[in-house]
């Protein structure tokens, strides 16, 4: 229930920011896109396994089941990719992050911060594999969203990553 309340609060704040009242039609579209309780519980369980118990395989299974139930649940893709990274399965992490970009409504203003985070995770993977050109592309994509979104903290972290890459490439 807390997740539903948080989602509802976020949606209301987004509409307040744009000073657009929510019409009945928009309200219907928003409420019909709410994540099912089963998917929400599996996702929460996956988070617990991944971050509290360090049970990576169990977390991966929870996130996969969540995605099977709610194929457009961006957060589940994001955490599945992160679980794969912790499991040293970078190729599966890449596939998961790109699946999130292909399968989810990542261009929806409500999910823009998640899209920026996915781009950042992809860039980190490229950086770790020393593919700096690709990393720069995805860090810049993330930055462009975060500038519009106004997340200065996350933007500063990405700028540190960019500076690190430019230093390695001697482009500073």
Question: Residue 106 has what pLDDT?
Answer: 57
pLDDT at residue 18 greater than cutoff 80: no
Question: Residue 159 has what pLDDT?
Answer: 84
Could you give the residue ranges of the DSSP H alpha helices within the chain? 2-17, 24-32, 37-47, 56-69, 74-86, 90-103, 112-128, 132-149, 152-169
pTM to 2 decimals?
0.75
- Residue 115, CA distances (Å) to 13, 18, 144 in order: 19, 20, 11
Q: Which two tokens stand for residue 90?
A: 């970078």
Cβ neighbour number for residue 79 with a 10 Å cutoff? 22
Higher-pLDDT residue of 146 and 31 is 146
Higher-pLDDT residue of 106 and 68 is 68
- Answer yes or no: are the C-beta atoms of 43 and 76 closer than 8 Å: yes
* CB-based burial, 116-149: b 16+ in 10 Å, e otherwise: bbbbbbbbbbbbeeeebeebbebbebbbebbeee
Query: pLDDT tens digits for 60-80?
Result: 999 999 999 998 888 999 999
- Answer yes or no: are the C-beta atoms of 104 and 72 closer than 8 Å: yes
* Mean pLDDT on 8-21: 54
* Mean pLDDT on 111-128: 90
């Amino acid at each position: 229930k807390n997740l539903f309340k948080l989602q509802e609060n976020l949606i209301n704040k987004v509409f307040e920011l744009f000073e657009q009242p929510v019409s009945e039609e928009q309200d219907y579209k928003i409420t019909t896109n709410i994540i099912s309780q089963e998917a929400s519980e599996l996702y929460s369980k996956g988070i617990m396994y991944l971050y509290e118990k360090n049970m990576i395989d169990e977390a991966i299974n929870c996130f996969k089941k969540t995605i099977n139930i709610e194929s457009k649940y961006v957060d589940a893709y994001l955490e599945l990719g992160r679980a794969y990274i912790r499991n040293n399965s970078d190729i599966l992490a890449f596939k998961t992050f790109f699946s999130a970009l292909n399968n989810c409504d990542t261009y929806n203003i409500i999910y823009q911060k998640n899209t920026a985070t996915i781009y950042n995770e992809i860039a980190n993977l490229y950086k770790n594999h020393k593919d700096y050109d690709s990393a720069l592309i995805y860090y810049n994509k993330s930055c462009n969203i975060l500038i519009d979104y106004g997340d200065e903290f996350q933007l500063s972290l990405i700028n540190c990553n960019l500076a690190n890459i430019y230093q390695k490439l001697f482009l500073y």
